[in-house]
Structure 1
Amino acid sequence: MTSAALWGSVAASSLLLGAILGILRQWPAKLIGTVLAFGGGALIASVSFELAEEGLATSGPVPLATGLAAGALTYYAANRAVEHLGQRQADPKAPHLQGRRRQQGGTSLAVGAFLDGIPEQAVLGIGLAAGQGVSAALLVAIFVSNLPEAIGSASDMRESGASRASVLRIWLGVTFICALATIGGYALADVVSTSVQGAVNGFAAGALLVMLVDSLVPEAREKGGESAGLVTALGFALAAGLALLS
Protein backbone atom coordinates (compact mmCIF):
# COMPACT_ATOMS: atom_id res chain seq x y z
CA MET A 1 0.00 0.00 0.00
CA THR A 2 2.87 2.37 0.80
CA SER A 3 4.40 1.65 -2.60
CA ALA A 4 1.08 2.37 -4.30
CA ALA A 5 0.79 5.69 -2.48
CA LEU A 6 4.35 6.62 -3.41
CA TRP A 7 4.15 5.79 -7.11
CA GLY A 8 0.64 7.21 -7.39
CA SER A 9 1.90 10.49 -5.99
CA VAL A 10 4.85 10.52 -8.41
CA ALA A 11 2.59 9.94 -11.43
CA ALA A 12 0.00 12.52 -10.36
CA SER A 13 2.54 15.13 -9.30
CA SER A 14 2.91 16.33 -12.90
CA LEU A 15 -0.67 17.68 -12.70
CA LEU A 16 0.26 20.02 -9.88
CA LEU A 17 3.64 20.81 -11.46
CA GLY A 18 1.90 21.72 -14.73
CA ALA A 19 -0.56 23.98 -12.90
CA ILE A 20 2.29 25.79 -11.14
CA LEU A 21 4.12 26.27 -14.44
CA GLY A 22 0.89 27.48 -16.06
CA ILE A 23 0.31 30.29 -13.55
CA LEU A 24 3.93 31.43 -13.52
CA ARG A 25 4.18 32.37 -17.21
CA GLN A 26 2.80 31.89 -20.72
CA TRP A 27 4.36 28.97 -22.61
CA PRO A 28 4.76 28.79 -26.40
CA ALA A 29 2.04 26.78 -28.11
CA LYS A 30 4.73 24.91 -30.07
CA LEU A 31 6.31 23.63 -26.87
CA ILE A 32 2.99 22.52 -25.38
CA GLY A 33 2.06 20.77 -28.62
CA THR A 34 5.40 18.96 -28.70
CA VAL A 35 4.97 17.70 -25.13
CA LEU A 36 1.42 16.63 -25.93
CA ALA A 37 2.60 14.70 -28.99
CA PHE A 38 5.31 12.92 -27.01
CA GLY A 39 2.85 12.04 -24.25
CA GLY A 40 0.33 10.83 -26.82
CA GLY A 41 2.86 8.44 -28.33
CA ALA A 42 3.74 7.14 -24.87
CA LEU A 43 0.06 6.60 -24.06
CA ILE A 44 -0.50 4.66 -27.29
CA ALA A 45 2.36 2.35 -26.33
CA SER A 46 0.94 1.95 -22.83
CA VAL A 47 -2.50 1.06 -24.18
CA SER A 48 -0.94 -1.52 -26.48
CA PHE A 49 1.78 -3.09 -24.33
CA GLU A 50 0.43 -2.55 -20.82
CA LEU A 51 -3.33 -2.16 -20.58
CA ALA A 52 -4.69 -4.31 -23.42
CA GLU A 53 -1.99 -6.98 -23.25
CA GLU A 54 -2.13 -7.28 -19.46
CA GLY A 55 -5.94 -7.27 -19.40
CA LEU A 56 -6.07 -10.02 -22.00
CA ALA A 57 -3.54 -12.14 -20.12
CA THR A 58 -5.30 -11.58 -16.79
CA SER A 59 -8.93 -12.14 -17.65
CA GLY A 60 -9.35 -13.10 -21.31
CA PRO A 61 -11.08 -11.24 -24.14
CA VAL A 62 -14.64 -10.85 -22.79
CA PRO A 63 -13.93 -8.86 -19.59
CA LEU A 64 -11.31 -6.82 -21.44
CA ALA A 65 -13.74 -5.98 -24.27
CA THR A 66 -16.50 -5.16 -21.77
CA GLY A 67 -14.23 -2.80 -19.87
CA LEU A 68 -12.96 -1.27 -23.11
CA ALA A 69 -16.49 -0.45 -24.25
CA ALA A 70 -17.45 0.91 -20.82
CA GLY A 71 -14.37 3.12 -20.64
CA ALA A 72 -14.84 4.48 -24.16
CA LEU A 73 -18.54 5.25 -23.62
CA THR A 74 -17.95 6.79 -20.19
CA TYR A 75 -15.25 9.13 -21.41
CA TYR A 76 -17.26 10.02 -24.52
CA ALA A 77 -20.36 10.89 -22.48
CA ALA A 78 -18.41 12.85 -19.87
CA ASN A 79 -16.47 14.75 -22.52
CA ARG A 80 -19.68 15.68 -24.32
CA ALA A 81 -21.12 16.97 -21.04
CA VAL A 82 -18.04 19.14 -20.52
CA GLU A 83 -18.28 20.48 -24.08
CA HIS A 84 -21.94 21.38 -23.61
CA LEU A 85 -21.01 23.21 -20.42
CA GLY A 86 -18.44 25.24 -22.32
CA GLN A 87 -20.93 26.06 -25.09
CA ARG A 88 -23.49 27.61 -22.76
CA GLN A 89 -22.41 31.09 -23.70
CA ALA A 90 -23.95 34.11 -25.33
CA ASP A 91 -22.33 35.87 -28.28
CA PRO A 92 -18.70 34.63 -28.28
CA LYS A 93 -17.61 37.94 -29.84
CA ALA A 94 -18.70 39.92 -26.81
CA PRO A 95 -15.51 41.19 -25.13
CA HIS A 96 -16.84 40.83 -21.59
CA LEU A 97 -17.36 37.10 -22.14
CA GLN A 98 -13.81 36.28 -23.17
CA GLY A 99 -12.55 35.78 -19.63
CA ARG A 100 -15.51 33.55 -18.76
CA ARG A 101 -14.93 31.45 -21.89
CA ARG A 102 -11.25 31.02 -21.02
CA GLN A 103 -12.17 29.95 -17.49
CA GLN A 104 -14.65 27.36 -18.79
CA GLY A 105 -12.04 26.09 -21.23
CA GLY A 106 -9.59 25.70 -18.38
CA THR A 107 -12.18 23.93 -16.28
CA SER A 108 -12.93 21.54 -19.14
CA LEU A 109 -9.24 20.60 -19.35
CA ALA A 110 -9.18 20.00 -15.60
CA VAL A 111 -12.23 17.74 -15.83
CA GLY A 112 -10.61 15.88 -18.73
CA ALA A 113 -7.44 15.28 -16.71
CA PHE A 114 -9.60 14.03 -13.86
CA LEU A 115 -11.59 11.64 -16.07
CA ASP A 116 -8.64 9.95 -17.76
CA GLY A 117 -6.34 10.18 -14.73
CA ILE A 118 -8.38 7.97 -12.41
CA PRO A 119 -8.40 4.77 -14.52
CA GLU A 120 -4.76 5.30 -15.55
CA GLN A 121 -3.59 5.48 -11.98
CA ALA A 122 -5.87 2.68 -10.80
CA VAL A 123 -4.06 0.40 -13.25
CA LEU A 124 -0.74 1.36 -11.64
CA GLY A 125 -2.09 0.20 -8.29
CA ILE A 126 -3.44 -3.05 -9.73
CA GLY A 127 -0.05 -3.86 -11.24
CA LEU A 128 1.69 -3.24 -7.92
CA ALA A 129 -0.80 -5.45 -6.05
CA ALA A 130 -0.25 -8.23 -8.57
CA GLY A 131 3.47 -8.17 -7.84
CA GLN A 132 4.39 -6.85 -11.28
CA GLY A 133 6.09 -3.75 -9.93
CA VAL A 134 5.51 -0.27 -11.30
CA SER A 135 5.04 -0.02 -15.06
CA ALA A 136 7.78 2.34 -16.22
CA ALA A 137 6.07 2.89 -19.58
CA LEU A 138 2.71 3.77 -18.06
CA LEU A 139 4.35 5.95 -15.42
CA VAL A 140 6.23 7.96 -18.06
CA ALA A 141 3.13 8.23 -20.25
CA ILE A 142 0.95 9.52 -17.41
CA PHE A 143 3.55 11.98 -16.16
CA VAL A 144 4.36 13.47 -19.58
CA SER A 145 0.78 13.68 -20.86
CA ASN A 146 -0.45 15.36 -17.67
CA LEU A 147 1.91 18.33 -17.95
CA PRO A 148 0.48 20.16 -21.00
CA GLU A 149 -3.12 19.57 -19.88
CA ALA A 150 -2.42 21.21 -16.54
CA ILE A 151 -0.33 24.02 -18.04
CA GLY A 152 -3.04 24.91 -20.57
CA SER A 153 -5.84 24.74 -18.02
CA ALA A 154 -4.05 26.82 -15.40
CA SER A 155 -3.07 29.42 -18.00
CA ASP A 156 -6.68 29.78 -19.19
CA MET A 157 -8.00 30.05 -15.64
CA ARG A 158 -5.41 32.66 -14.72
CA GLU A 159 -6.14 34.76 -17.83
CA SER A 160 -9.83 34.68 -16.97
CA GLY A 161 -9.11 36.46 -13.70
CA ALA A 162 -9.03 33.52 -11.31
CA SER A 163 -6.57 33.92 -8.47
CA ARG A 164 -3.45 31.81 -8.29
CA ALA A 165 -4.65 30.34 -5.01
CA SER A 166 -7.97 29.18 -6.49
CA VAL A 167 -6.26 27.63 -9.53
CA LEU A 168 -3.81 25.76 -7.31
CA ARG A 169 -6.66 24.54 -5.07
CA ILE A 170 -8.46 23.04 -8.06
CA TRP A 171 -5.38 21.24 -9.34
CA LEU A 172 -4.31 20.16 -5.88
CA GLY A 173 -7.70 18.47 -5.55
CA VAL A 174 -7.39 16.76 -8.96
CA THR A 175 -3.85 15.63 -8.11
CA PHE A 176 -4.91 14.21 -4.74
CA ILE A 177 -7.87 12.26 -6.15
CA CYS A 178 -5.80 10.83 -9.01
CA ALA A 179 -3.06 9.76 -6.60
CA LEU A 180 -5.72 8.20 -4.36
CA ALA A 181 -6.93 6.16 -7.35
CA THR A 182 -3.63 4.26 -7.31
CA ILE A 183 -4.30 3.18 -3.72
CA GLY A 184 -7.85 2.30 -4.75
CA GLY A 185 -6.57 0.13 -7.59
CA TYR A 186 -4.18 -1.60 -5.21
CA ALA A 187 -6.99 -2.34 -2.74
CA LEU A 188 -9.34 -3.38 -5.54
CA ALA A 189 -6.90 -6.00 -6.80
CA ASP A 190 -6.93 -7.72 -3.42
CA VAL A 191 -10.69 -8.20 -3.22
CA VAL A 192 -11.95 -8.69 -6.77
CA SER A 193 -11.55 -11.45 -9.33
CA THR A 194 -9.09 -11.41 -12.19
CA SER A 195 -12.02 -10.77 -14.53
CA VAL A 196 -12.71 -7.45 -12.83
CA GLN A 197 -9.03 -6.57 -12.92
CA GLY A 198 -8.95 -7.22 -16.65
CA ALA A 199 -12.07 -5.10 -17.09
CA VAL A 200 -10.38 -2.22 -15.25
CA ASN A 201 -7.45 -2.48 -17.66
CA GLY A 202 -9.92 -2.41 -20.53
CA PHE A 203 -11.78 0.56 -19.04
CA ALA A 204 -8.58 2.58 -18.83
CA ALA A 205 -7.61 1.59 -22.37
CA GLY A 206 -11.01 2.56 -23.78
CA ALA A 207 -11.08 5.91 -22.01
CA LEU A 208 -7.55 6.73 -23.14
CA LEU A 209 -8.20 5.80 -26.78
CA VAL A 210 -11.21 8.12 -26.99
CA MET A 211 -9.31 10.88 -25.20
CA LEU A 212 -6.35 10.52 -27.58
CA VAL A 213 -8.42 10.78 -30.76
CA ASP A 214 -10.90 13.40 -29.52
CA SER A 215 -8.60 15.72 -27.62
CA LEU A 216 -4.89 15.07 -27.28
CA VAL A 217 -3.83 14.22 -30.84
CA PRO A 218 -5.76 17.06 -32.56
CA GLU A 219 -4.42 19.60 -30.07
CA ALA A 220 -0.88 18.25 -30.41
CA ARG A 221 -1.08 18.60 -34.20
CA GLU A 222 -2.59 22.07 -34.02
CA LYS A 223 -0.03 23.44 -31.56
CA GLY A 224 2.98 21.29 -32.39
CA GLY A 225 2.82 21.70 -36.14
CA GLU A 226 4.21 19.35 -38.77
CA SER A 227 6.72 17.73 -36.40
CA ALA A 228 3.99 16.43 -34.07
CA GLY A 229 3.83 13.07 -35.81
CA LEU A 230 7.57 12.51 -35.50
CA VAL A 231 7.52 13.41 -31.81
CA THR A 232 4.57 11.05 -31.28
CA ALA A 233 6.59 8.22 -32.83
CA LEU A 234 9.48 9.06 -30.51
CA GLY A 235 7.21 8.94 -27.47
CA PHE A 236 5.79 5.60 -28.63
CA ALA A 237 9.26 4.13 -29.19
CA LEU A 238 10.51 5.18 -25.76
CA ALA A 239 7.45 3.90 -23.90
CA ALA A 240 7.38 0.65 -25.88
CA GLY A 241 11.05 0.09 -25.08
CA LEU A 242 10.42 0.67 -21.38
CA ALA A 243 7.47 -1.72 -21.47
CA LEU A 244 9.53 -4.46 -23.09
CA LEU A 245 12.39 -3.99 -20.64
CA SER A 246 10.18 -3.97 -17.52
Structure 2
Amino acid sequence: MSTWLEVVLLTLMAGAAMPIGAAIAMVERIHPQWLENELRHTVIAFGGGALLSAVALVLVPEGSRDLHPAGVAVCFAGGGVAFMALDLLLFKINTPATQLAAMLSDFIPEAMALGASFALGENTGPLLAGLIALQNLPEGFNSYRELVDSTDWQGRRLVAAFAAMALVGPAAGMVGYHLLSDSPRVVSGVMLFAAGGILYLTFQDIAPQARLENRWAPSLGAVAGFLLGLIGEMLVSA
Protein backbone atom coordinates (compact mmCIF):
# COMPACT_ATOMS: atom_id res chain seq x y z
CA MET A 1 0.00 0.00 0.00
CA SER A 2 1.34 3.43 -0.90
CA THR A 3 2.14 5.77 1.97
CA TRP A 4 -0.25 8.53 0.93
CA LEU A 5 -3.14 6.04 0.75
CA GLU A 6 -2.26 4.79 4.22
CA VAL A 7 -2.41 8.37 5.51
CA VAL A 8 -5.85 8.85 3.91
CA LEU A 9 -7.24 5.61 5.34
CA LEU A 10 -5.86 6.18 8.84
CA THR A 11 -7.12 9.77 9.08
CA LEU A 12 -10.50 8.71 7.69
CA MET A 13 -10.68 5.92 10.26
CA ALA A 14 -9.83 8.33 13.06
CA GLY A 15 -12.45 10.82 11.86
CA ALA A 16 -15.09 8.11 11.41
CA ALA A 17 -15.03 7.59 15.17
CA MET A 18 -17.00 10.86 15.53
CA PRO A 19 -20.16 9.72 13.69
CA ILE A 20 -19.81 6.27 15.27
CA GLY A 21 -19.83 7.88 18.72
CA ALA A 22 -22.85 9.98 17.70
CA ALA A 23 -24.68 6.87 16.45
CA ILE A 24 -24.05 5.11 19.77
CA ALA A 25 -25.42 8.14 21.60
CA MET A 26 -28.69 7.81 19.63
CA VAL A 27 -29.58 4.78 21.77
CA GLU A 28 -31.72 6.45 24.42
CA ARG A 29 -34.15 3.82 25.62
CA ILE A 30 -31.78 1.30 27.19
CA HIS A 31 -31.53 2.23 30.86
CA PRO A 32 -31.73 5.95 30.00
CA GLN A 33 -30.77 7.16 33.47
CA TRP A 34 -27.66 5.00 33.52
CA LEU A 35 -26.80 6.05 29.96
CA GLU A 36 -27.19 9.72 30.80
CA ASN A 37 -25.15 9.55 34.00
CA GLU A 38 -22.56 6.87 34.63
CA LEU A 39 -21.90 5.58 31.10
CA ARG A 40 -21.72 9.06 29.61
CA HIS A 41 -19.26 10.29 32.22
CA THR A 42 -17.16 7.13 31.91
CA VAL A 43 -16.95 7.59 28.13
CA ILE A 44 -15.93 11.24 28.58
CA ALA A 45 -13.23 10.26 31.07
CA PHE A 46 -11.99 7.52 28.73
CA GLY A 47 -11.57 10.11 25.99
CA GLY A 48 -9.66 12.34 28.38
CA GLY A 49 -7.30 9.50 29.22
CA ALA A 50 -6.73 8.81 25.52
CA LEU A 51 -6.00 12.49 24.91
CA LEU A 52 -3.45 12.59 27.72
CA SER A 53 -1.75 9.48 26.36
CA ALA A 54 -1.51 11.08 22.91
CA VAL A 55 0.10 14.16 24.46
CA ALA A 56 2.46 12.32 26.80
CA LEU A 57 3.48 9.38 24.60
CA VAL A 58 3.46 10.73 21.03
CA LEU A 59 3.00 14.46 20.50
CA VAL A 60 5.37 15.83 23.15
CA PRO A 61 8.21 13.27 22.77
CA GLU A 62 8.14 13.49 18.96
CA GLY A 63 7.60 17.24 18.86
CA SER A 64 10.36 18.17 21.30
CA ARG A 65 13.02 16.05 19.62
CA ASP A 66 14.00 18.56 16.91
CA LEU A 67 13.39 21.84 18.75
CA HIS A 68 15.30 23.84 21.34
CA PRO A 69 13.61 24.38 24.73
CA ALA A 70 12.59 27.92 23.76
CA GLY A 71 10.90 26.64 20.61
CA VAL A 72 9.17 23.89 22.56
CA ALA A 73 7.86 26.43 25.07
CA VAL A 74 6.58 28.81 22.38
CA CYS A 75 4.78 26.11 20.36
CA PHE A 76 3.32 24.29 23.35
CA ALA A 77 2.16 27.44 25.13
CA GLY A 78 0.93 28.89 21.83
CA GLY A 79 -1.32 25.88 21.35
CA GLY A 80 -2.87 26.31 24.78
CA VAL A 81 -3.42 30.05 24.30
CA ALA A 82 -4.82 29.60 20.77
CA PHE A 83 -7.28 26.94 21.89
CA MET A 84 -8.36 29.15 24.79
CA ALA A 85 -8.97 32.05 22.38
CA LEU A 86 -10.98 29.76 20.10
CA ASP A 87 -12.93 28.49 23.09
CA LEU A 88 -13.83 32.06 24.06
CA LEU A 89 -14.84 32.91 20.50
CA LEU A 90 -17.06 29.86 20.16
CA PHE A 91 -18.64 30.58 23.54
CA LYS A 92 -19.55 34.10 22.43
CA ILE A 93 -21.00 32.95 19.10
CA ASN A 94 -22.94 30.12 20.79
CA THR A 95 -24.55 28.32 17.84
CA PRO A 96 -24.88 24.56 17.20
CA ALA A 97 -22.04 24.82 14.70
CA THR A 98 -19.65 25.98 17.43
CA GLN A 99 -19.61 22.56 19.09
CA LEU A 100 -18.83 20.95 15.76
CA ALA A 101 -16.06 23.49 15.20
CA ALA A 102 -14.68 22.73 18.67
CA MET A 103 -14.38 19.06 17.71
CA LEU A 104 -12.48 19.95 14.55
CA SER A 105 -10.14 22.34 16.37
CA ASP A 106 -8.05 19.49 17.77
CA PHE A 107 -8.74 16.93 15.03
CA ILE A 108 -7.23 19.05 12.23
CA PRO A 109 -3.76 19.65 13.76
CA GLU A 110 -3.66 16.03 14.93
CA ALA A 111 -4.39 14.79 11.39
CA MET A 112 -1.73 17.14 10.00
CA ALA A 113 0.77 15.77 12.52
CA LEU A 114 -0.18 12.22 11.52
CA GLY A 115 0.43 12.92 7.83
CA ALA A 116 3.69 14.67 8.60
CA SER A 117 4.92 11.75 10.70
CA PHE A 118 4.56 9.48 7.68
CA ALA A 119 6.40 11.98 5.48
CA LEU A 120 9.32 11.95 7.91
CA GLY A 121 9.40 8.15 8.06
CA GLU A 122 8.27 7.89 11.68
CA ASN A 123 6.55 4.72 12.91
CA THR A 124 4.15 6.51 15.25
CA GLY A 125 1.50 7.25 12.60
CA PRO A 126 -0.74 4.19 13.22
CA LEU A 127 -0.50 4.68 16.99
CA LEU A 128 -1.43 8.36 16.69
CA ALA A 129 -4.37 7.45 14.42
CA GLY A 130 -5.61 4.97 17.01
CA LEU A 131 -5.34 7.50 19.80
CA ILE A 132 -7.17 10.14 17.74
CA ALA A 133 -9.95 7.62 17.09
CA LEU A 134 -10.17 6.81 20.82
CA GLN A 135 -10.49 10.54 21.47
CA ASN A 136 -13.07 11.18 18.72
CA LEU A 137 -15.38 8.36 19.77
CA PRO A 138 -16.33 9.87 23.16
CA GLU A 139 -16.26 13.38 21.66
CA GLY A 140 -18.84 12.31 19.09
CA PHE A 141 -20.90 10.61 21.80
CA ASN A 142 -20.87 13.58 24.15
CA SER A 143 -21.33 16.26 21.47
CA TYR A 144 -24.35 14.43 20.06
CA ARG A 145 -26.02 14.33 23.49
CA GLU A 146 -25.29 18.01 24.11
CA LEU A 147 -26.58 19.11 20.72
CA VAL A 148 -29.77 17.06 21.05
CA ASP A 149 -30.43 18.68 24.44
CA SER A 150 -29.66 22.25 23.37
CA THR A 151 -30.80 22.48 19.72
CA ASP A 152 -33.44 21.19 17.32
CA TRP A 153 -30.85 19.09 15.50
CA GLN A 154 -31.81 15.44 15.83
CA GLY A 155 -30.89 11.88 14.86
CA ARG A 156 -29.55 11.20 11.41
CA ARG A 157 -29.06 14.86 10.61
CA LEU A 158 -26.49 15.14 13.37
CA VAL A 159 -24.79 11.86 12.50
CA ALA A 160 -24.54 13.01 8.87
CA ALA A 161 -22.92 16.28 10.02
CA PHE A 162 -20.39 14.32 12.05
CA ALA A 163 -19.69 12.04 9.07
CA ALA A 164 -19.03 15.08 6.87
CA MET A 165 -16.55 16.34 9.47
CA ALA A 166 -14.66 13.05 9.23
CA LEU A 167 -13.72 13.92 5.63
CA VAL A 168 -11.64 16.84 6.91
CA GLY A 169 -9.15 14.34 8.34
CA PRO A 170 -7.74 13.02 5.04
CA ALA A 171 -7.44 16.59 3.70
CA ALA A 172 -5.48 17.70 6.77
CA GLY A 173 -3.39 14.53 6.64
CA MET A 174 -2.46 15.21 3.02
CA VAL A 175 -1.42 18.76 3.91
CA GLY A 176 0.89 17.39 6.56
CA TYR A 177 2.21 14.66 4.29
CA HIS A 178 2.92 16.75 1.18
CA LEU A 179 3.65 20.24 2.48
CA LEU A 180 5.55 19.48 5.67
CA SER A 181 7.68 16.55 4.49
CA ASP A 182 10.77 18.77 4.13
CA SER A 183 10.20 20.73 7.32
CA PRO A 184 10.79 18.51 10.36
CA ARG A 185 10.90 21.50 12.70
CA VAL A 186 7.53 22.73 11.46
CA VAL A 187 6.16 19.23 12.02
CA SER A 188 7.51 19.32 15.56
CA GLY A 189 5.88 22.69 16.08
CA VAL A 190 2.52 21.40 14.83
CA MET A 191 2.73 18.42 17.19
CA LEU A 192 3.55 20.60 20.19
CA PHE A 193 0.89 23.16 19.24
CA ALA A 194 -1.69 20.36 19.11
CA ALA A 195 -0.41 18.96 22.41
CA GLY A 196 -0.78 22.32 24.18
CA GLY A 197 -4.28 22.77 22.80
CA ILE A 198 -5.33 19.26 23.75
CA LEU A 199 -4.03 19.69 27.28
CA TYR A 200 -6.05 22.90 27.61
CA LEU A 201 -9.21 21.21 26.32
CA THR A 202 -8.72 18.23 28.61
CA PHE A 203 -8.75 20.31 31.77
CA GLN A 204 -11.17 22.96 30.53
CA ASP A 205 -13.89 20.75 29.05
CA ILE A 206 -13.33 17.04 29.54
CA ALA A 207 -12.12 16.64 33.13
CA PRO A 208 -14.90 18.79 34.69
CA GLN A 209 -17.57 16.82 32.79
CA ALA A 210 -16.09 13.43 33.64
CA ARG A 211 -16.60 13.65 37.40
CA LEU A 212 -19.94 12.40 38.75
CA GLU A 213 -21.04 12.85 42.35
CA ASN A 214 -20.98 9.63 44.38
CA ARG A 215 -19.78 7.58 41.38
CA TRP A 216 -16.26 6.23 41.00
CA ALA A 217 -16.26 4.28 37.71
CA PRO A 218 -16.04 7.37 35.44
CA SER A 219 -12.63 8.37 36.81
CA LEU A 220 -11.39 4.84 36.19
CA GLY A 221 -12.29 5.37 32.55
CA ALA A 222 -9.48 7.95 32.33
CA VAL A 223 -7.03 5.34 33.61
CA ALA A 224 -8.29 2.84 31.03
CA GLY A 225 -7.95 5.36 28.20
CA PHE A 226 -4.37 6.26 29.10
CA LEU A 227 -3.45 2.60 29.66
CA LEU A 228 -4.69 1.67 26.21
CA GLY A 229 -2.52 4.39 24.69
CA LEU A 230 0.47 3.25 26.76
CA ILE A 231 0.14 -0.36 25.64
CA GLY A 232 -0.16 0.76 22.03
CA GLU A 233 3.01 2.83 22.34
CA MET A 234 4.90 -0.10 23.88
CA LEU A 235 3.79 -2.43 21.09
CA VAL A 236 4.87 0.07 18.41
CA SER A 237 8.24 0.60 20.12
CA ALA A 238 8.81 -3.14 20.41
TM-score normalised per structure 1: 0.82
2:32 aligned partner: none
1:177 aligns with 2:168: yes
1:12 aligned partner: 15
Of 173, 186, 197, the residue aligned with 1:196 is 186
Change (3 A) 1:238 1:219: same
* 1:209-236 per-position Cα deviation (integer Å, ceiling 9, x unaligned): 0000000111111489423332212222
Change (3 A) 1:155 1:237: closer
- Map 1:86-105 onto structure 2 (within 5 A): 86=94, 104=95
Of 200, 220, 241, the residue aligned with 2:231 is 241
Of 79, 91, 104, the residue aligned with 1:83 is 91
1:97 aligned partner: none
1:230 aligned partner: 220
Which amino acid is 2:18 matched to? L
Q: Identity of aligned pairs, percent?
A: 26
1:132 aligned partner: 122
Q: How well do the aligned residues superpose, as a CA RMSD in angstroms?
A: 2.3
Which amino acid is 1:144 matched to? L
Question: Number of aligned pairs?
Answer: 227
What is the distance in 2 between the residues matched to 1:42 and 1:163?
28
Deviation at 1:137, TM superposition (A): 4.0
* Partners of 2:58 and 2:124 within 8 A in 1: no
Residue range with higher mean Cα deviation, 168-177 or 30-39 = 168-177
Change (3 A) 1:226 1:108: farther
What is the distance in 1 between the residues matched to 2:25 and 2:207?
20
SS of 2:113's equivalent in the other structure is helix
* Partners of 1:42 and 1:137 within 8 A in 2: no
- Map 1:48-59 onto structure 2 (within 5 A): 48-59=56-67
1:117 aligns with 2:107: yes
1:146 aligned partner: 136
1:38 aligned partner: 46
Structure 1 segments unaligned to the other structure (5+ residues): 87-103
* Partners of 2:47 and 2:139 within 8 A in 1: no
What is the distance in 2 between the residues matched to 1:82 and 1:109?
8
Q: Which of the pair is proportionally richer in helix? A: 1
SS of 1:138's equivalent in the other structure is helix
Change (3 A) 1:228 1:165: closer
* Partners of 2:42 and 2:220 within 8 A in 1: no
Of 3, 6, 16, the residue aligned with 1:3 is 6
Change (3 A) 1:40 1:17: same
* Partners of 1:75 and 1:211 within 8 A in 2: yes
Which amino acid is 1:172 matched to? A
TM-score normalised per structure 2: 0.84
* Partners of 1:38 and 1:235 within 8 A in 2: yes
What is the distance in 2 between the residues matched to 1:189 and 1:224?
48
Deviation at 1:141, TM superposition (A): 2.4
Deviation at 1:136, TM superposition (A): 4.5
SS of 2:72's equivalent in the other structure is helix
Deviation at 1:165, TM superposition (A): 4.8
Change (3 A) 1:199 1:40: same
